[in-house]
Structure 1
Amino acid sequence: MIHKDLIKKMTLEEKASLMSGKDFWQTKDIERLGVNSIFLSDGPHGIRKQAVAADQLGLNEGIPATCFPTAATVANSWNEEMGEKIGEYLGEEAIAQKVNVVLGPGINMKRNPLCGINFEYFSEDPYLAGKMAAGYIRGIQSHGISACVKHFCVNNKEERRMAIDTIVDERTLREIYLTAFEIAVKEGKTKAIMSSYNMLNGTYTNENMHLMQDILREEWNYKGCVITDWGGSNDRIAGLVAGNELEMPTTAGETDEEIIQAIKSGKIKEQVLDDCVDRLLELILTTEEVYKKPHMEFDVEKHHRVTQKVAEESIVLLKNEENILPLKYDKKVAVIGDFAKEARYQGAGSSIVNPTILDHTLDCFDESGIVSIGYESGFERYGKKSKKKIDRACELAKQADVILLYIGLDEVTEVEGMDRKSMKIPENQIDLLNALQKVNPNVVAILSCGSAVEMPWIDKVKGLLHGYLGGQAGARAILRVLSGDVNPSGKLAETYPIHYEDTPSFYNFQDKEVSVEYREGIYIGYRYYDTADIDVLFPFGYGLSYTTFEYSDIEVNKEGVIFKLLNSGNIAGMEIAQMYVGCRSEEVFRPQKELKGFVKIFINAGESKTVTIPFDDKTFRYFNVKTNKWEIEAAEYKIMIGASSDDIRLVDTIFMEGTGAQLPYDKDKLPSYYSGKVNNVGTEEFENLIGCKVPVSTWDRTKPLGYNDTIAQCQYAKGLFAKLVFRIIVFLHWFLRKIGKRSTANIIMMSIYHLPFRGIARMTGGALNMKMLDGILMIVNGHFFKGLNHLIKEKSKMAKGKKS
């Protein structure tokens, strides 16, 4: 232990007190020993330190901070160095606001396009996500504070995220869902990790000994701190034993007392608590320098310029028919679409940043050199149809040479805590596009959203520029790409399927019951589409430029791959060269190709550069479930260099000596996995993969509701009062959407409907404890008066305890 002497001076009560928050955003202090509180703040793409007091929870407005592009946007830059630079600026602003721990970045995989918080995650590929995250972490922690990567792990669905059980095989867990976290720990050296809400194979992640001890602590040698997601603690003692140091937010001492009693009764040894206290103290004492430094304001204008540069490098040009872009200086453009007036620049939920400056498209035309003849909104932002708006937009479009059409997803469609209902953009926007295209075929669409969408309308546009969610300077950055001041260099960090039904998790994502089964295994994203030979709209790694690049002269050796890259166009540009590896053996099922390296390089027109992409410890490995280790199969491997996963320019091979491990699978029992056609795997085959029976995935309607059942399950409750409450919640949600209060309606679904009962206690900062919750559950289960009496008694006890 690092802080053994300090811990010896603490009472049992003091040690236990450190294991939960002081309020919603701070840790507890021990004044007599000089142990200070530290402040934690949301911050995946900007610091969201709430302007209200720290004892209030919610999505309150934060102190102004730079709103950088979201992780989904920055991932399209494929620029690790830029990720580190963003981290440095985030860290600088955290210091200015006296924040010790920045809650980010988020590095869960984009398993399915409908996950509501995909905008906060980097990619469908763990290698790309891990490398980008490591950059962020290094940048943030260069200021002496801590990053906190999240959500550990397999949190790939927002609905019922606090109660859902994720069923996934060990190899898929390691290769797909843990690799990014491994890179964040080993290369980024993150000081903190946030555990996810969900269960993993029947056990909550922060209580899962295999995850928290075998993998995180022993295999990865992680010495840092694990923090629960807010309200994410289930069994506090089980979490402590697993090595979950800090429970957030405060429980007003309730779980501290649980820890004290568990030690006094001999249920757990005090050494378990001491180890957790030691790791938390290390986080506190190594980040408290923020309070000793003189207050310094950050340079608002400078940070704004940086976020513009980040956005410029992350924008993806997806279509450029007839070279309609960049816009010629003599072209008159009509600006159409609600997102042009009110930019869609970040996601919605706990990561909302109050920007220091906010650029809007209509305010930036004068400096862009683009000649705008006018603006029309064309559509209602939240989907309501309006023929008048379309007619006015068409009249303007007739007068223009080119239409700039700003479309995408709104703030209440992509939101934390809820999943999208479909991959489509709103129908009223498509109606507008169809009408515009009839009066003027020169349509350039500018898309704003944080995840993949279907595009059955793509033949109606000549140009398509995807800005994703570009932060507070995203609008200006888009205009600079449209005008040609910036040559686009972003490439997609996720695949765009033609139809949602094409996705590998189509049959196993929108389940409404207890568990979600990852039956597609290791085949997510391009790993599936390429192996199963499924056509896609835009492949992983795809993006156009205003120039062209030629690849040649590949050489492969034991250290890596070397090749030449020529800018064969007439303007300077940046190219993202990607290295994929495919194993030619058929003994262990593998995707056709996997990303194992990449480089982004600037090349002047006509210039040629020699590029090297090294191999590393992840290039040839796979996880063997028989040996429970990473192994290398003795085989010939294809080394593929491409401009995208579907555009391979150079190929060579190399033979690698293997580790001699026994084969992990019976090929005859896993035909879908050996073929890669895994979009609808049967139960028996999935059970052969996971090595056990698939747990029952439906709620037990016959049992009384308990702590980990959700409010939504009140529809099955025995108590009439609970059923009435359920119907009121459903009605309120419907009514609020009907009158246009969509954000409030979403909060009801996120914060009430899908909340497990224990969350009522865990998220109220001690205002309602678990004993009072027992009374509520009695009411729910049909014992109204007994439960009400219990609730009142426990409320009275709490009040007396506070007075004393």
Structure 2
Amino acid sequence: MTSPTSEDLATQVRLLSGRDNWSTEAVEGHRPVVVADGPHGVRRPDADQLGIGSALPATCFPTASSLAASWDLDLIEQVGAALGRESRARDVDVLLGPGLNLKRHPAGGRNFEYFSEDPLLSGRMAAAMVRGLQSQGVGGCLKHFAVNNQEAGRMVVDVLVDDRTLRELYLTGFEIAVRESAPWTVMCAYNRVGGTYCSDHRWLLTDVLRDEWGFDGVVMSDWGAVNDRAAAVAAGLDLEMPTSGKAFDREVVAAVERGKLDAAAVERSVARLARLAERAESAVADGLAGADDAEAHHVLAGRAAAAGTVLLTNDGILPLASPGRLAVIGGFATRPRYQGAGSSQVTPTRLDTALDAFRDRLGDDTRVAFAPGYALDGSTTDTLVEAAVAAARDADVAVVFAGLPGAYESEGFDRDHLRLPDGHTRLVEAVVAVNPRTVVVLANGAPVELPWADRPAALVEGYLAGQAGGSAIVDVLLGHAEPGGRLAESFPVAAEDLPASAAFPGEPRQVRYLEGLHVGYRFHDTFAVPARFPFGHGGSYTTFAWSEVEVNGAGQRFTVSVTVTNTGERAGSEAVQVYVADVDATVHRPAQELRGFAKVHLAPGEAERVHVDLGPRAFAHWDVERRDWLVAAGTFEVRVAASSVDVRERVRIEVDGESEVPASPHRPEPLADEATFAAMFGREVPDADPVLPLHRNSTLDDLAATPLGRAVQPLLARAASRAMLGSLHEPDAATRRMFATILRESPLRSLVLFGQGRPSLAALDRVLRVLDLQPSRRRR
């Protein structure tokens, strides 16, 4: 192969970054590829801007936390196909989603955009959505690869996680989605893993993603996530997004000319981008022009919202039958919290409210009173509470809509605690005190602490249910639809119970995963620490009988079969969950792990034989020494369950495998101490990076470490805001807080990248050397 000329090389390198904020360069005669934010709706801005302002209307489907609670892969694929049709109708070639980072801790600010605390459920949900998207000729984009489990410091934080935990928890979901859906693209995360930025991480992007899992698509950066583009191209990153004004081009060309970067790596990335463009053009050629059937998609969004609604408790009050006098309480009934804040924010085609739906469904036969109960920020007053109490006291049934305001959970920052706003808690307790026939409906993207959970007559988790959520929740409450959801995450009694709380979100530049495998139900079930509501939990309006459980097979492949019968008088659905426990384990393992599931829908009296396959990975653990999956021969227990704590049948089987498996130190504690973590980590645990000297990845906050840096900090903050957003104004409190946090925590190279090369990287380096001349004693 001949070396490219300098002109050819410069042209090729130019293709490896965006043309603008939302499209690629035209590669090898193909048209540019257009991308748009997702994943629960198409956010196509009406101008080439990065802010969260105006965007073209699109169906706002329930967020991932709600969709995952359905446990229904067919439904998720239908939602994905609808998103594909809407993307194609808006000339979007790649939708930036789904997100499937694992929910390490419930306080993660972006957890509403992710599926589950379990990698199997996350991976299969993501694969279903990608299959739906790509059936319509629109590429999926798995994000954020990898180990992006917090918002705090996400652009610079170094995640230290042991290899076994990394493989078994944080990479497995991505592996499943890659293997089962062949996504067109994968997006790398901002953070570092083991000291290396994800954009530069050859082991992640090439050794694992491409060589091991067989991914053949384009790896793109998160917006502004590229640390060193020459290193990134060598690692396997194909596309820098958005445009940076070609700020890195000179460095990439110089790296090739000096022999530090193989020109073939540049050519491979160009070829992958050309293939992506071919895929997008083929979709149009195949007649997949898209369809914007707003009414049909709104109906689908409502069906998905009901399927993800979880009946947490119910003393029999639900479904509501002829409520007579109904008090609807809470501002979310008229101004719903239906989606998360941040880049996934969608302009809905319409928006249903619960109060309107109640009045429409109940008509004149029921008197429906309303009291707001709290302000938009979650606070309340004596007057608001007194009015709500009066309405509840005068009603046969009270329905309180409570949860988390948008400013409590968002991309860009993590939650400060797991509690509801004080105003919401005060309102719930006051209403329940005067009317025992009170139903509480929650709107939140992730678990919350619920110390009063046993006091209402019923407690319903509605999650962030999308634009049709208001009417869908009412249909569930009235029995026109079933509460089809089962929790895809554990609700702890208190955040302090969780071992991850000890190191969440960690230091500004480093977080150590001291809890290892003990995340979610793996922690609760292993150490007998009850969750408020366990993983997989959810009630129904009908009853089910499980019978004739069998496990057939041999070696390392088995099929679990169970007959599920609807023994009630209403149609309903059940999530059959299959957990596996290693009875003879010589290595430390969680008490049990989800290894398969199936969703079954049954009419009254109907029965169905459900089958769940278990392959070698159902029994394997990651062997650190061999760097491979290993199945230890011995006895395993297969548990057929309705939740992680509601086991209906246990069957012991003998599994073939390695007979000589080195024992690992038993871990009696859920949280590793420093010595244990060092042993798990397998190499020297580095200290967190010092603040000084300043460098390209120093943050705006870090500038306060020098006198001159403190002086220029406000000027650079304003410049960064203009470069990243185009203005200092954003429409709501959550978005304003998100961008303010991102600006403070962004690496200074973002000034160059979002400023489209102005100032240049070389100029930034010179400025940093000057700022670093007068260090103060302040260190972090």
What are the Cα deviations for residues 125-168 of structure 1, in whole angstroms up to 9, with x where unaligned? 00001011100011111122210000001000001100000001
How far apart, CA to CA, are the structure 2 residues paired with 1:172 and 1:588? 13
Q: Is 1:766 aligned to residue 757 of structure 2?
A: yes
> Given the superposition, is the C-alpha separation of residues 489 and 294 from structure 1 closer, same or farther in structure 2, using an over 3 Å criterion?
closer
How far apart, CA to CA, are the structure 1 residues paired with 2:476 and 2:162? 44
Per-residue deviation, 1:205? 1.2
Q: Is the 8 A contact 1:99 1:290 kept in 2?
A: no
| 1:739-754 to 2 correspondences below 5 Å | 742-743=733-734, 745-754=736-745
Aligned match of 1:713? 702
Task: Identify the match of residue 17 of structure 1 among 14, 17, 21.
Answer: 14
Aligned match of 2:579? 580
How far apart, CA to CA, are the structure 2 residues paired with 1:218 and 1:253? 29
How far apart, CA to CA, are the structure 2 residues paired with 1:594 and 1:609? 25
How far apart, CA to CA, are the structure 2 residues paired with 1:720 and 1:211? 35
> Given the superposition, is the C-alpha separation of residues 724 and 487 from structure 1 closer, same or farther in structure 2, using an over 3 Å criterion?
closer
Aligned residue type for 1:347: G
After TM superposition, the structure 1 stretch with the greater mean CA deviation from structure 2, 148-157 or 219-228, is: 219-228
How far apart, CA to CA, are the structure 1 residues paired with 2:34 and 2:716? 39
How far apart, CA to CA, are the structure 2 residues paired with 1:244 and 1:661? 40
Per-residue deviation, 1:290? 5.6
Aligned residue type for 1:625: V
Q: Is the 8 A contact 1:704 1:717 kept in 2?
A: no
Aligned match of 1:312? 306
How far apart, CA to CA, are the structure 2 residues paired with 1:377 and 1:599? 40
How far apart, CA to CA, are the structure 2 residues paired with 1:118 and 1:148? 17
> Given the superposition, is the C-alpha separation of residues 741 and 279 from structure 1 closer, same or farther in structure 2, using an over 3 Å criterion?
closer
> Given the superposition, is the C-alpha separation of residues 383 and 728 from structure 1 closer, same or farther in structure 2, using an over 3 Å criterion?
farther
The alignment of Structure 1 onto Structure 2 pairs a total of residues equal to 758
How far apart, CA to CA, are the structure 2 residues paired with 1:549 and 1:361? 30
How far apart, CA to CA, are the structure 2 residues paired with 1:585 and 1:162? 42
Task: Identify the match of residue 373 of structure 1 among 353, 357, 368.
Answer: 368
How far apart, CA to CA, are the structure 2 residues paired with 1:43 and 1:430? 32
> Given the superposition, is the C-alpha separation of residues 682 and 294 from structure 1 closer, same or farther in structure 2, using an over 3 Å criterion?
closer
Q: Is the 8 A contact 2:247 2:752 kept in 1?
A: no
After TM superposition, the structure 1 stretch with the greater mean CA deviation from structure 2, 407-416 or 11-20, is: 11-20
Q: Is 1:183 aligned to residue 176 of structure 2?
A: yes
Aligned residue type for 2:303: K
Aligned residue type for 1:656: V
Per-residue deviation, 1:36? 1.7
Q: Is the 8 A contact 1:98 1:290 kept in 2?
A: no
Task: Identify the match of residue 294 of structure 2 among 300, 304, 310.
Answer: 300
Per-residue deviation, 1:551? 1.4
Task: Identify the match of residue 451 of structure 1 among 442, 446, 451.
Answer: 446
What are the Cα deviations for residues 218-254 of structure 1, in whole angstroms up to 9, with x where unaligned? 1112111100000000011111001100001112122
SS of the counterpart of 1:26? coil
Tell me, which stretches of 5 or more residues in structure 2 are unaligned?
722-730, 776-780
| 1:434-445 to 2 correspondences below 5 Å | 434-445=429-440
Aligned residue type for 2:479: G
Aligned match of 1:614? 613
How far apart, CA to CA, are the structure 1 residues paired with 2:7 and 2:26? 12
Per-residue deviation, 1:289? 4.0
Aligned residue type for 1:494: E
| 1:644-723 to 2 correspondences below 5 Å | 644-660=643-659, 662-663=661-662, 666-667=664-665, 671-672=666-667, 675=668, 677-678=669-670, 680-697=671-688, 699-701=689-691, 703-719=692-708, 721-722=710-711
Aligned residue type for 1:531: T
Please report the RMSD computed on the Cα atoms of aligned residues, expressed in angstroms. Answer: 2.4
Q: Is the 8 A contact 1:250 1:766 kept in 2?
A: no
Identity of aligned residues (%): 38
Task: Identify the match of residue 63 of structure 1 among 40, 43, 56.
Answer: 56
Per-residue deviation, 1:99? 0.6
Q: Is the 8 A contact 1:626 1:662 kept in 2?
A: no
Aligned match of 2:499? 504
How far apart, CA to CA, are the structure 1 residues paired with 2:380 and 2:129? 42
How far apart, CA to CA, are the structure 2 residues paired with 1:619 and 1:188? 20
Task: Identify the match of residue 324 of structure 2 among 328, 331, 334.
Answer: 331
What are the Cα deviations for residues 689-730 of structure 1, in whole angstroms up to 9, with x where unaligned? 111122113x424x222111221223323426448639999x
Per-residue deviation, 1:568? 2.1
Aligned residue type for 2:484: S
Q: Is the 8 A contact 1:40 1:100 kept in 2?
A: yes
How far apart, CA to CA, are the structure 1 residues paired with 2:547 and 2:499? 34
Per-residue deviation, 1:525? 0.5
How far apart, CA to CA, are the structure 2 residues paired with 1:330 and 1:417? 42
Q: Is the 8 A contact 1:98 1:291 kept in 2?
A: no
What are the Cα deviations for residues 585-621 of structure 1, in whole angstroms up to 9, with x where unaligned? 1311111111011111112223332221111342111
Aligned residue type for 1:22: R
Task: Identify the match of residue 128 of structure 1 among 113, 121, 140.
Answer: 121
Aligned residue type for 1:700: P
Aligned residue type for 1:710: T
> Given the superposition, is the C-alpha separation of residues 779 and 375 from structure 1 closer, same or farther in structure 2, using an over 3 Å criterion?
farther
Aligned match of 1:233? 226
| 1:441-520 to 2 correspondences below 5 Å | 441-520=436-515
Per-residue deviation, 1:532? 0.8
How far apart, CA to CA, are the structure 1 residues paired with 2:360 and 2:436? 27
Per-residue deviation, 1:653? 1.0
SS of the counterpart of 1:226? strand
SS of the counterpart of 1:597? strand
> Given the superposition, is the C-alpha separation of residues 122 and 296 from structure 1 closer, same or farther in structure 2, using an over 3 Å criterion?
closer
| 1:71-86 to 2 correspondences below 5 Å | 71-86=64-79
Q: Is 1:353 aligned to residue 346 of structure 2?
A: yes
Q: Is the 8 A contact 2:96 2:140 kept in 1?
A: yes
> Given the superposition, is the C-alpha separation of residues 313 and 372 from structure 1 closer, same or farther in structure 2, using an over 3 Å criterion?
farther
> Given the superposition, is the C-alpha separation of residues 10 and 359 from structure 1 closer, same or farther in structure 2, using an over 3 Å criterion?
farther
| 1:1-400 to 2 correspondences below 5 Å | 11-30=8-27, 33-52=28-47, 54=48, 56-289=49-282, 297-321=291-315, 323-369=316-362, 371-400=366-395
How far apart, CA to CA, are the structure 2 residues paired with 1:768 and 1:421? 36
How far apart, CA to CA, are the structure 2 residues paired with 1:744 and 1:598? 37
How far apart, CA to CA, are the structure 1 residues paired with 2:62 and 2:5? 46
Aligned match of 1:555? 550
Q: What's the TM-score, normalizing by structure 1?
A: 0.91
> Given the superposition, is the C-alpha separation of residues 591 and 294 from structure 1 closer, same or farther in structure 2, using an over 3 Å criterion?
closer
How far apart, CA to CA, are the structure 2 residues paired with 1:81 and 1:542? 20
What are the Cα deviations for residues 89-139 of structure 1, in whole angstroms up to 9, with x where unaligned? 111011001111110000000000110000000000000010111000111
After TM superposition, the structure 1 stretch with the greater mean CA deviation from structure 2, 83-92 or 610-619, is: 610-619
What are the Cα deviations for residues 325-368 of structure 1, in whole angstroms up to 9, with x where unaligned? 11011432100001001011000000000001111112212332
Q: Is 1:406 aligned to residue 406 of structure 2?
A: no
How far apart, CA to CA, are the structure 1 residues paired with 2:449 and 2:715? 34
Aligned residue type for 1:313: A
How far apart, CA to CA, are the structure 2 residues paired with 1:560 and 1:168? 33
Q: Is 1:430 aligned to residue 425 of structure 2?
A: yes
Q: Is the 8 A contact 1:73 1:315 kept in 2?
A: yes
Per-residue deviation, 1:11? 2.1
How far apart, CA to CA, are the structure 2 residues paired with 1:50 and 1:245? 24
Aligned match of 1:735? none
